[in-house]
Structure 1
Amino acid sequence: MPTRQSDYSAPLAEVDQQARRDALYLALAQVPPGKVVTYGELAALAGLGRAARWVGRTLGQLPDGTALPWHRVVASGGRLSLAADSPSGVEQRARLRVEGVLSHNGRVDIRRHGWRPLEHEA
């Protein structure tokens, strides 16, 4: 029977964090091209409650070259939170443009491009 922390494969807090990340990544992978979701909506879809800031921090730590559609996540009201002149901001805007999602004054039309998966399930 294990008696020391080093005898366990991973601390419980680390396992919980990985489970949260896995839920987030699964929800994010479902956002279709041409649609966007807010940080808060993504947190709710992943079953993480009101963890919008945690979602933002976690997405900011994705490795380069990830296949996850991080560019489809926007701030509330459709605001693009990445600075327009930053490499990530330029890439986000370019990826969204390719998918037909245009921004105006740093925002996308959330009514037109917002993804509402639960509305389509009814």
Structure 2
Amino acid sequence: MRRTGLRAFVLVLVAWTIGTVGNGTLEAKTKFREVTGEIVSTDAAANSLAVKTMKGEMTFTVDSKTQIVAGKDEIHLSDLRAGQKAKIYYTHAGGKDLAERIMVKALTQKR
């Protein structure tokens, strides 16, 4: 009798797990890649950013979900300048590197 109860519990657990995975309620966490380098150029029209890293130059696609920050302030792609050091968190899909978050040091204002 005890084994039957255990089997029933295991079957219910397996069915629940399959159901939640099938419904998308159990999602795999996205693994972000990370790179640090110097900004070479930005292209607002093409929504792209080129960065020189230790492994060579990389080009990242920037979209409306990309978070770009300077210190604690959120900024825009057009605020980035060649020569700035940047840390980029990105994903690679469809042959492209999509920037999820771009971090640079706080921008200083010239007086």
Q: TM-score, normalised by structure 1?
A: 0.26
Structure with bigger strand share is 2
Select the structure that is richer in helix: 1
Q: Which structure: larger Rg? A: 2
